[in-house]
Amino acid sequence: MLNNKMTELLKIKYPIIQAPMAGGVTTSKLVAEVSNSGGLGMIGAGYMTPVQIREQIREIRQLTSNPFGINLFVPNEFKVTDNEIKSANQLLNPIHQQLNLQPKDDFEIPIFNNVLEKFNEQIKVIIEEKVPICTFTFGIPSREVIAELKQSNIILVGTATTVREAVENEKTGMDIVVVQGSEAGGHRGSFNDGDQESLVGLMSLIPQVVDNVNIPVVAAGGIMDGRGLMASICLGAMGVQMGTAFLTCVESGAHHVHKEAILNANEVQTVLTRSFSGKWARGIKNKFILEMQKHEALLPDFPVQNTLTHDIRKTSSAQNNQDFMSLWSGQSPRLAKNQTVDSLIKNIVVEVEKINFNI
Amino acid sequence: MLNNKMTELLKIKYPIIQAPMAGGVTTSKLVAEVSNSGGLGMIGAGYMTPVQIREQIREIRQLTSNPFGINLFVPNEFKVTDNEIKSANQLLNPIHQQLNLQPKDDFEIPIFNNVLEKFNEQIKVIIEEKVPICTFTFGIPSREVIAELKQSNIILVGTATTVREAVENEKTGMDIVVVQGSEAGGHRGSFNDGDQESLVGLMSLIPQVVDNVNIPVVAAGGIMDGRGLMASICLGAMGVQMGTAFLTCVESGAHHVHKEAILNANEVQTVLTRSFSGKWARGIKNKFILEMQKHEALLPDFPVQNTLTHDIRKTSSAQNNQDFMSLWSGQSPRLAKNQTVDSLIKNIVVEVEKINFNI
């Protein structure tokens, strides 16, 4: 079914990539199950240490002999002053109080050079462990990093939210590009075009990208089933990357409160916010988003704001309290189901075969 | 090709509706040519007087014997104070000066009762002239109006931007519902859900609506060719409504500056603004949008703001100056072509037949 250049490059049966959701969602079981079912399982390694990455790669290899991939965050330069941190913390203080949290002053504020160093160590592990596929979000790594990975025969996949970003991905040597529509949940992958301007729906984005690049295009954003897969193929994509659809699966490591929030949400309940991390991301509207909304333009950049909200998110999760958790979701929560990965993928295959074109 | 309940109801050959763009775009030639080519031509009659409507219906009947339709704006209650008008005019004054326009104080400010009366007169003409299809934007007309139209065997088509709005359309007796994705150009058709929340991409919106209504669903927003039509069908729609694709056609009455602006634009250049009319609408970013951006939340509601900007838009058009014109466009301007309606529709049919699913 639907074999093409993309499935050949990735050596997978179905053109379905499980989105690399960072923050504990992509358990080894989830990743391995996706790959065992004929899709491509992905480790969302953005926040992981090199040691954690190595451990998880080895764990997954125990569970599957099929290809899987890993995703990293390309570091973006950022600067932050003590004053900015102070004011951001002042904005967060009422929330600390609601959660009975002591406002901390002693956490380690990220420094760009350290972030870059960590990224290079992550790359090193991926090469050493011979992960067959490496994907990137938030930008394109340096020529040196790309050359190094290519020398190790690792297939490289970039992320784009606009035609210009997709063309740049192709130019720098990416083998495949994932185009993220405005429907997508979680962080926006944009790195070149404005935050608002780069919110292009997939119906518009896919064909315009396909007309301007020669590498395979994978569609991401709001795709949940065989209908979304076939629509993406019609628009010129060679496959899909699905996040929310896998997040609510049995094997995903997402918090049960997060899963339930998606299963109970409708299409108008997700919004874009930068209050959790300093980067724009789509999630289900909750108390945190609403309380921070009027300040969000002023908050420090990623990953600084992410560090500042760490305790809040952690405590809220520990209390099973959805009010202050980042409930990332795409715009199709009505289509989410709590099912096994195997069912999700089997259902897609059945649906695709059933679509009656009546041409 | 693609015959279904929707093409049967509308008695058309291809499941393609030309979007009812108001403001002079939908010339009789455009409407008739679309219907003659097998699609459904539509008069965008929102701003037209009953007399103009009657004239155009009769003119179109000279040019085609195929079905065509007409679209009306459902009046929404609005209130405006003299002070609000004064401050809105103050904001517009620098633009009046740039265009050497005398700021007027004597124009007729719309009053809701008059708008409603005009709407009822428009309905009367449509019934008298036996237009076979009537579509609505900005809401759902009263039970009385719906009953009257149904008694005359007119097929009714509503507009929705969310599942809830689609369900309401079905409940009130609409025969078909057009779902407008966030990709769409021109005015947002939302009437029940918040402006930001109702910006749902078609990849998410179509299947979620299809799962919740029984009437045929037509997709609108960023659809320009056979790829978009087939993608919409895969997602569960029975057809498409295309605006921008017809706007740049030879037969459209859009200003040549508007057509050229679309033909030269890319997917990141359209933005949502309420500065032109008081209702959110998507168009190509220009000087007017940028200058008014920081004030747009404070401007009077539709149609008051639309009246206040009338002279500015008219003068800018007369000077072939795109700076202050409303350059409505969906998110797919890279796919726009200056071609005849006949070519546009023929190309879609050819593309649809060429799509290779490789299932």
Query: For the segment B279-296, what is each residue's pLDDT rounded down to a tens digit?
Result: 999 999 999 999 999 999
Kindly state the tokens that stand for A259.
Answer: 């899963």
In chain B, which among 252-271 make CB contacts under 8 A with chain A? Answer: 266-269, 271
d(CA B98, CA B312): 10
Specify whether the CB–CB gap between A135 and A31 falls below 8 A. no
pLDDT band at residue B1 using 50, 70 and 90 as cut-offs: low
Contacts of A294 (CB under 8 A, 6+ apart): none
Would an 8 Å CB–CB cutoff place A153 in contact with chain B? no
The answer to which of A170-174, A194-198, B191-195, B241-245 has the lowest mean pLDDT is A194-198
> Which residues in B lie closer than 8 A to residue A2 (C-beta atoms)?
357-359
* ipTM associated with this complex: 0.97
Q: Using CA atoms, how far apart are residues B136 and B73, in angstroms rounded to an integer?
A: 6
Say if B319 is an interface residue toward chain A (CB within 8 Å).
no
Quick one: pLDDT band at residue B195, thresholds 50, 70, 90? confident
Q: Which residues of B touch A358 (CB under 8 A)?
A: 2-4
CA dist A2 → A8, A12, A234, A245, A353 (Å): 11, 11, 12, 20, 11
Model confidence pLDDT, tens digit, residues B67-80: 999 999 999 999 89
A212-A193-A197 Cα angle (round to 5): 95
Q: How far apart are CA B198 and CA B6, in angstroms?
A: 25
Question: What is the amino acid identity at position A287?
Answer: K
CB within 8 Å: B208 and A332: yes
- CA–CA distance, B14 with B348 (Å, rounded to integer): 10
Q: 3-class SS at B329?
A: coil
A41-53 tens-digit pLDDT: 999 999 999 999 9
Q: What is the pLDDT of residue A198?
A: 82
d(CA B94, CA B309): 12
Nearest to B222 among A183, A204, A335 (CB): A204
CB contacts of A222 in chain B (<8 Å) are 201, 203-204
Give the contacts of B90 (CB within 8 A, at least 6 positions apart): none
Residues B200, A267: C-beta atoms closer than 8 Å: yes
SS3 for B267-297 is CCCEEEECCCCCCCEEEECCHHHHHHHHHHH
- Between the alpha carbon of residue A21 and those of residues A8, A64, A187, B327, the distances in Å are 24, 19, 9, 38
Between A2, A202, A234, which is nearest B230 by CB? A234
The answer to whether A293 contacts chain B (CB < 8 Å) is: no
- Distance (Å) from the alpha carbon of B68 to chain A's nearest alpha carbon: 24
Q: Which of A172, A180, A176, A177 is nearest to A141 (CA)?
A: A172
What is the phi/psi pair of residue A187, to 5°?
-70, 140
Per-residue pLDDT band for B357 (boundaries 50, 70, 90) equals low
pLDDT at A192: 82
Tell me the H-state helices in chain B. 5-10, 28-36, 50-63, 82-98, 112-128, 143-151, 163-171, 202-210, 226-234, 244-247, 256-263, 287-292, 304-308, 310-318, 341-354
State whether B334 and A208 contact (CB < 8 Å): yes
Per-residue pLDDT tens digits of chain A, which is 359 residues long: 688 999 999 999 999 999 999 989 999 999 999 999 999 999 999 999 999 999 999 999 999 999 999 999 999 999 898 899 999 999 999 999 999 998 776 677 889 999 999 999 999 999 999 999 999 999 999 999 999 999 999 999 999 999 999 999 999 999 999 999 999 999 999 998 777 778 999 999 999 999 999 999 999 999 999 999 999 999 999 999 999 999 999 999 999 999 999 999 999 999 999 999 999 999 999 999 999 999 998 899 999 999 999 999 999 999 999 999 999 999 999 999 999 999 999 999 999 988 766 54
Which residue of chain A is at minimal alpha-carbon distance from B222? A204
pLDDT of residue A333: 98
From A132's Cα to the closest Cα of chain B, the distance in A is 26
Q: Are strands A41-44 and A68-73 parallel, antiparallel or unpaired?
A: parallel
- Reduced to 3 states, what is the DSSP secondary structure of residue A264? coil
Query: Looking at chain B, which residue has its C-alpha nearest residue A227?
Result: B235
Q: Is A201 on the interface with B (CB under 8 A)?
A: yes
Identify the DSSP state of A177: E
pLDDT over 60 at B359, yes or no: no
Show Cβ contacts of residue A51 under 8 Å, excluding neighbours closer than 6 positions.
none
Rounded CA-CA distance A301/A84 in Å is: 10
Whether chain A has a CB inside 8 Å of the CB on B335: the answer is yes
> With contact defined as beta carbons under 8 Å apart, do A217 and B189 qualify?
no
Closest CA to B321 of B262, B273, B256: B256
Query: Taking CB atoms and an 8 Å cutoff, what residues of chain A touch B331?
Result: 200-201, 203-205
Q: A204 and B197 in contact by Cβ < 8 A? A: no
- Answer yes or no: are the C-beta atoms of A156 and A136 closer than 8 Å: yes
- The mean-pLDDT minimum among A57-71, B28-42, B181-195, B205-219 falls in B181-195
Instruction: Give the H or E element holding residue A315.
Output: helix A310-318
Q: What is the pTM of this model?
A: 0.97
Tell me the β-bridge partners of B298: none
DSSP B240: E
To test the contact with chain A by mutation, choose from B204, B270, B349 the residue with the greatest count of A C-beta atoms within 10 A, namely B204
Q: Which candidate from A202, A234, A355 shows the least CB-CB separation from B201? A: A202
Contact B58, B131 (CB under 8 A): no
